[in-house]
Amino acid sequence: MKRAVKKKAATKKKAATKKVAVKKSSAKKAVTKKAAVKKKVVAKKKSATKKAVEPKKIKGTRKAYTKTELFNTLAENAGVTKKEVAAVMDALTDVVNAHVKKNAVGHFTLPGLLKVKTVRKPARRAKKNVPNPFKPGEFMDVAAKPARTVVKVLPLKKLKDMVG
């Protein structure tokens, strides 16, 4: 009776050690598979960044680009399709709109290039008999102006350096 109990305990221990060994080996396989997947992902990212890192230099142009010419140039230099460029431009428009519309943050920065901000101009009263700056000696009436919000676009460092 004691021998039977000992045999059962011994077989249970062997089975448990086999299970642990199987679990360890499967865990090692899973780790190696994950490492292989990570290597593939990193390789894909590197190849994707290589395309984006090598933009073509654009020479100065004598005439302003149309929308189509701009999209074609961007697509060609970035290595993407014209539809993707159009989608990015639409998304950029939506983001700028969300930043500068009423009751929003009031400014948007395109890093390195420009800053778009809104400035609130107060209302101005009408004035009568104001000297005319263009015809000395004459007087004029200045109409009232309502309060309004104007958009200002400011160049940032990279854009200033491009011009200078």
Q: Judge if 99 and 117 occupy the same domain.
A: no
| Cα dihedral 6, 11, 12, 14 in deg (nearest 10) | 130
Residue 3 maps to a domain: no
Domain boundary among 84, 105, 126: 105
Q: Cα 75 from chain centroid?
A: 17
Q: Judge if 80 and 97 occupy the same domain.
A: yes
**């190696």: which residue's tokens?**
32
Q: Give me the domain span that covers residue 98.
A: 66-105
Residue 70 maps to a domain: yes
Residue 13 maps to a domain: no
Q: Judge if 144 and 97 occupy the same domain.
A: no
Beta bridge partners of 107: 117
DSSP state of 134: S
Sheet with 148-155, edge to edge strand ranges: 107-110, 114-121, 148-155
* pLDDT at residue number 163: 87
pTM above threshold 0.85: no
* pLDDT at residue number 31: 54
Q: Residue 114 in 3-state DSSP?
A: strand
Residue 86 maps to a domain: yes
* pLDDT at residue number 12: 60
Q: Judge if 112 and 154 occupy the same domain.
A: yes
Q: Beta-carbon neighbour count of residue 75 at 10 Å?
A: 16
Q: How far apart are CA 60 and CA 135, in angstroms?
A: 44
Residue 58 maps to a domain: no
Counting the structural domains of the chain, the total is 2
Per-block mean pLDDT, blocks of 10 residues, the chain (164 long) = 58 58 54 56 51 64 93 93 96 96 94 95 96 95 96 95 86
Q: Judge if 151 and 112 occupy the same domain.
A: yes
Structure tokens at 119: 């400035």
Q: Judge if 161 and 127 occupy the same domain.
A: yes
CA-nearest of 94, 89, 66, 90 to 78 is 89
Residue 19 maps to a domain: no
